[in-house]
Amino acid sequence: MARKALITWGGWEGHEPEQVARLFRGMLEAEGFEIALHDTLDCLADGTALQELDLIVPVWTMSEIAKESVQNVSEAVARGTGLAGVHGGMCDAFRNNTLWQFMTGGNWVAHPGGDGVRYRVTMANSSSPLVAGIGDFDVESEQYYLHVDPANEVLATTRFPAVTWYHSPNGPVEMPVAWTKRWGLGRVYYNALGHKANVIDHGPAQEMIRRGLLWAAEGKAEAAGGDVAQFASPGNHL
Protein backbone atom coordinates (compact mmCIF):
# COMPACT_ATOMS: atom_id res chain seq x y z
CA MET A 1 0.00 0.00 0.00
CA ALA A 2 1.37 3.40 -0.98
CA ARG A 3 2.28 5.80 1.78
CA LYS A 4 0.10 8.91 1.90
CA ALA A 5 1.22 12.52 2.19
CA LEU A 6 -0.76 15.75 2.39
CA ILE A 7 0.87 18.93 1.08
CA THR A 8 -0.94 22.19 1.77
CA TRP A 9 0.32 25.48 0.38
CA GLY A 10 -0.56 29.18 0.49
CA GLY A 11 0.24 32.31 2.42
CA TRP A 12 2.83 34.92 1.45
CA GLU A 13 3.57 34.67 -2.28
CA GLY A 14 7.16 35.88 -1.87
CA HIS A 15 8.17 32.39 -0.77
CA GLU A 16 6.78 30.79 -3.93
CA PRO A 17 4.50 28.40 -2.03
CA GLU A 18 3.00 26.76 -5.10
CA GLN A 19 6.41 26.10 -6.66
CA VAL A 20 7.82 24.75 -3.38
CA ALA A 21 4.76 22.55 -2.87
CA ARG A 22 5.13 21.08 -6.35
CA LEU A 23 8.82 20.46 -5.67
CA PHE A 24 7.86 18.47 -2.56
CA ARG A 25 5.25 16.62 -4.57
CA GLY A 26 7.86 15.55 -7.10
CA MET A 27 10.26 14.37 -4.39
CA LEU A 28 7.61 12.28 -2.68
CA GLU A 29 6.04 10.85 -5.83
CA ALA A 30 9.51 9.66 -6.84
CA GLU A 31 9.52 7.69 -3.57
CA GLY A 32 6.13 6.10 -4.30
CA PHE A 33 3.90 8.31 -2.15
CA GLU A 34 0.27 8.99 -2.93
CA ILE A 35 -0.07 12.80 -2.72
CA ALA A 36 -3.01 15.04 -1.82
CA LEU A 37 -2.12 18.62 -2.80
CA HIS A 38 -4.26 21.48 -1.43
CA ASP A 39 -4.14 25.27 -1.67
CA THR A 40 -6.38 25.71 1.37
CA LEU A 41 -6.15 24.99 5.09
CA ASP A 42 -9.58 23.37 5.06
CA CYS A 43 -7.82 20.03 4.56
CA LEU A 44 -6.66 20.23 8.21
CA ALA A 45 -10.20 20.35 9.59
CA ASP A 46 -10.69 16.56 9.60
CA GLY A 47 -8.56 15.28 12.45
CA THR A 48 -9.41 11.61 11.82
CA ALA A 49 -8.26 11.84 8.21
CA LEU A 50 -4.96 13.44 9.25
CA GLN A 51 -4.25 10.54 11.60
CA GLU A 52 -4.43 8.16 8.63
CA LEU A 53 -1.60 9.97 6.80
CA ASP A 54 2.09 9.13 6.85
CA LEU A 55 3.18 12.75 6.35
CA ILE A 56 1.93 16.34 6.48
CA VAL A 57 3.94 19.02 4.64
CA PRO A 58 2.86 22.62 5.31
CA VAL A 59 3.94 25.45 2.98
CA TRP A 60 2.27 28.48 4.62
CA THR A 61 4.32 31.58 5.47
CA MET A 62 2.54 33.83 7.97
CA SER A 63 -1.24 33.46 7.50
CA GLU A 64 -3.87 32.59 10.09
CA ILE A 65 -5.23 29.21 11.03
CA ALA A 66 -8.07 27.93 13.15
CA LYS A 67 -6.96 26.76 16.59
CA GLU A 68 -8.80 23.48 16.01
CA SER A 69 -6.79 22.79 12.85
CA VAL A 70 -3.48 23.10 14.70
CA GLN A 71 -4.83 20.82 17.41
CA ASN A 72 -5.79 18.32 14.69
CA VAL A 73 -2.26 18.36 13.30
CA SER A 74 -0.79 18.06 16.78
CA GLU A 75 -2.92 15.02 17.61
CA ALA A 76 -2.09 13.37 14.28
CA VAL A 77 1.65 13.87 14.73
CA ALA A 78 1.46 12.69 18.35
CA ARG A 79 0.03 9.42 17.01
CA GLY A 80 2.72 8.93 14.37
CA THR A 81 1.94 11.07 11.32
CA GLY A 82 5.14 12.83 10.25
CA LEU A 83 5.44 16.61 9.95
CA ALA A 84 8.12 18.16 7.73
CA GLY A 85 8.73 21.51 6.09
CA VAL A 86 11.13 24.28 5.23
CA HIS A 87 11.90 27.96 5.68
CA GLY A 88 8.96 30.28 6.41
CA GLY A 89 6.51 27.69 5.13
CA MET A 90 6.71 25.84 8.44
CA CYS A 91 8.55 27.98 11.00
CA ASP A 92 7.20 31.39 10.05
CA ALA A 93 3.66 30.07 9.78
CA PHE A 94 0.70 31.00 11.99
CA ARG A 95 2.65 33.44 14.17
CA ASN A 96 -0.12 33.73 16.76
CA ASN A 97 -0.30 30.01 17.47
CA THR A 98 2.17 28.91 20.14
CA LEU A 99 1.17 25.24 19.85
CA TRP A 100 2.38 25.31 16.25
CA GLN A 101 5.70 26.83 17.35
CA PHE A 102 6.12 24.28 20.16
CA MET A 103 5.37 21.37 17.83
CA THR A 104 7.64 22.51 14.98
CA GLY A 105 10.57 23.41 17.23
CA GLY A 106 11.24 27.01 16.28
CA ASN A 107 10.05 30.37 15.05
CA TRP A 108 11.62 32.84 12.60
CA VAL A 109 12.43 36.28 14.02
CA ALA A 110 14.83 37.90 11.50
CA HIS A 111 16.99 37.51 8.39
CA PRO A 112 19.63 40.27 8.68
CA GLY A 113 20.70 41.46 5.23
CA GLY A 114 17.58 40.11 3.54
CA ASP A 115 17.85 37.91 0.46
CA GLY A 116 21.21 37.38 -1.24
CA VAL A 117 23.38 36.85 1.87
CA ARG A 118 26.14 34.33 1.20
CA TYR A 119 26.71 31.96 4.08
CA ARG A 120 27.88 28.45 4.89
CA VAL A 121 25.71 25.56 6.04
CA THR A 122 27.78 23.32 8.33
CA MET A 123 26.84 19.76 9.18
CA ALA A 124 26.51 19.54 12.97
CA ASN A 125 25.76 15.83 13.31
CA SER A 126 27.56 14.07 10.47
CA SER A 127 26.86 10.63 11.96
CA SER A 128 23.12 11.09 11.45
CA PRO A 129 21.78 9.27 8.37
CA LEU A 130 19.91 12.47 7.57
CA VAL A 131 23.18 14.24 6.68
CA ALA A 132 25.75 11.42 6.38
CA GLY A 133 27.95 11.97 3.35
CA ILE A 134 26.72 15.52 2.80
CA GLY A 135 29.53 18.03 3.13
CA ASP A 136 29.33 21.64 4.25
CA PHE A 137 28.11 23.95 1.48
CA ASP A 138 27.46 27.61 0.73
CA VAL A 139 24.16 29.18 -0.20
CA GLU A 140 23.15 32.68 -1.25
CA SER A 141 19.73 33.37 0.21
CA GLU A 142 18.07 34.59 3.38
CA GLN A 143 19.97 33.53 6.49
CA TYR A 144 17.36 32.69 9.10
CA TYR A 145 17.73 33.77 12.71
CA LEU A 146 15.33 31.59 14.70
CA HIS A 147 14.17 31.19 18.27
CA VAL A 148 14.57 27.46 18.73
CA ASP A 149 13.59 24.64 21.07
CA PRO A 150 16.61 23.42 23.08
CA ALA A 151 15.20 19.89 22.77
CA ASN A 152 15.76 19.84 18.98
CA GLU A 153 18.36 17.47 17.57
CA VAL A 154 20.35 19.88 15.41
CA LEU A 155 21.59 18.49 12.09
CA ALA A 156 23.16 21.58 10.52
CA THR A 157 24.03 25.14 11.55
CA THR A 158 25.09 28.49 10.15
CA ARG A 159 27.27 31.13 11.79
CA PHE A 160 25.94 34.56 12.71
CA PRO A 161 26.58 37.40 12.16
CA ALA A 162 27.24 37.26 8.44
CA VAL A 163 25.81 40.78 8.12
CA THR A 164 26.46 43.52 10.67
CA TRP A 165 23.31 44.70 12.43
CA TYR A 166 21.97 45.35 15.94
CA HIS A 167 22.56 41.73 16.96
CA SER A 168 26.28 41.88 16.11
CA PRO A 169 27.57 43.11 19.53
CA ASN A 170 26.42 39.80 21.06
CA GLY A 171 29.21 38.02 19.24
CA PRO A 172 29.18 34.96 16.98
CA VAL A 173 26.60 32.21 17.45
CA GLU A 174 25.86 28.93 15.72
CA MET A 175 22.26 29.05 14.53
CA PRO A 176 20.44 25.81 13.67
CA VAL A 177 19.55 25.39 9.99
CA ALA A 178 18.04 21.89 10.15
CA TRP A 179 16.74 19.79 13.01
CA THR A 180 14.53 16.96 14.08
CA LYS A 181 12.37 16.57 17.16
CA ARG A 182 9.79 14.20 18.57
CA TRP A 183 6.17 15.04 19.26
CA GLY A 184 4.44 12.25 21.12
CA LEU A 185 4.93 9.15 18.98
CA GLY A 186 5.62 11.21 15.86
CA ARG A 187 8.58 12.76 14.07
CA VAL A 188 9.12 16.40 13.05
CA TYR A 189 11.73 17.65 10.54
CA TYR A 190 12.59 21.25 9.67
CA ASN A 191 15.07 22.91 7.31
CA ALA A 192 15.47 26.70 7.21
CA LEU A 193 16.54 26.75 3.55
CA GLY A 194 14.01 27.39 0.82
CA HIS A 195 13.36 31.14 0.47
CA LYS A 196 12.84 30.41 -3.23
CA ALA A 197 12.25 27.06 -4.87
CA ASN A 198 15.57 27.30 -6.73
CA VAL A 199 17.48 27.23 -3.43
CA ILE A 200 16.29 23.69 -2.65
CA ASP A 201 15.67 22.11 -6.06
CA HIS A 202 19.21 20.77 -6.46
CA GLY A 203 22.39 19.73 -4.70
CA PRO A 204 22.94 19.04 -1.01
CA ALA A 205 20.02 21.21 0.12
CA GLN A 206 17.59 19.11 -1.91
CA GLU A 207 19.11 15.87 -0.63
CA MET A 208 18.88 17.01 3.00
CA ILE A 209 15.20 17.81 2.55
CA ARG A 210 14.44 14.60 0.67
CA ARG A 211 15.89 12.59 3.54
CA GLY A 212 14.02 14.70 6.08
CA LEU A 213 10.66 14.13 4.41
CA LEU A 214 11.25 10.38 4.31
CA TRP A 215 12.49 10.24 7.90
CA ALA A 216 9.40 12.04 9.18
CA ALA A 217 7.09 9.73 7.21
CA GLU A 218 8.90 6.60 8.41
CA GLY A 219 7.85 7.45 11.96
CA LYS A 220 4.35 6.20 11.16
CA ALA A 221 5.48 2.58 11.14
CA GLU A 222 7.60 3.12 14.24
CA ALA A 223 4.60 4.49 16.11
CA ALA A 224 2.31 1.58 15.20
CA GLY A 225 1.03 -0.06 18.34
CA GLY A 226 2.33 2.72 20.56
CA ASP A 227 0.18 4.19 23.29
CA VAL A 228 -0.09 7.97 23.01
CA ALA A 229 -1.89 8.03 26.36
CA GLN A 230 1.50 7.66 28.05
CA PHE A 231 2.04 11.37 27.34
CA ALA A 232 -1.21 12.49 28.96
CA SER A 233 -1.13 14.89 31.90
CA PRO A 234 -3.89 16.69 33.84
CA GLY A 235 -3.34 19.89 31.88
CA ASN A 236 -3.15 18.32 28.43
CA HIS A 237 -6.10 16.21 27.42
CA LEU A 238 -5.60 13.66 24.65
pLDDT at 93: 98
Classify residue 8: in a domain, yes or no.
yes
- The domain in which residue 196 lies consists of 4-107+178-231
Classify residue 42: in a domain, yes or no.
yes
Classify residue 169: in a domain, yes or no.
no
Q: What is the pTM of this model?
A: 0.97
- Total structural domains within the chain: 1
pLDDT at 232: 84
Classify residue 206: in a domain, yes or no.
yes
Q: Mean pLDDT per 10-residue run, the chain (238 residues)?
A: 96 98 98 98 98 98 98 98 98 97 98 97 94 97 98 98 96 98 98 98 98 98 95 73
Classify residue 141: in a domain, yes or no.
no
Q: What string of H, E and C letters represents the secondary structure of the chain?
A: CCCEEEEEEEECHHHCHHHHHHHHHHHHHHCCCEEEEECCHHHHCCHHHHHCCCEEEEEEEECCCCHHHHHHHHHHHHCCCEEEEEHHHHHCECCCCHHHHHHHCEEEEECCCCCCEEEEEEECCCCCCCCCCCCCEEEEECCCEEEECCCCEEEEEEEECCCCCCCHHHCCEEEEEEEEEEECCEEEEEECCCCCHHHCCCHHHHHHHHHHHHHHHHHHHHHCCCCHHHHCECCECC
Classify residue 87: in a domain, yes or no.
yes
Classify residue 49: in a domain, yes or no.
yes
Classify residue 196: in a domain, yes or no.
yes
The CATH number of residue 33's host domain is: 3.40.50
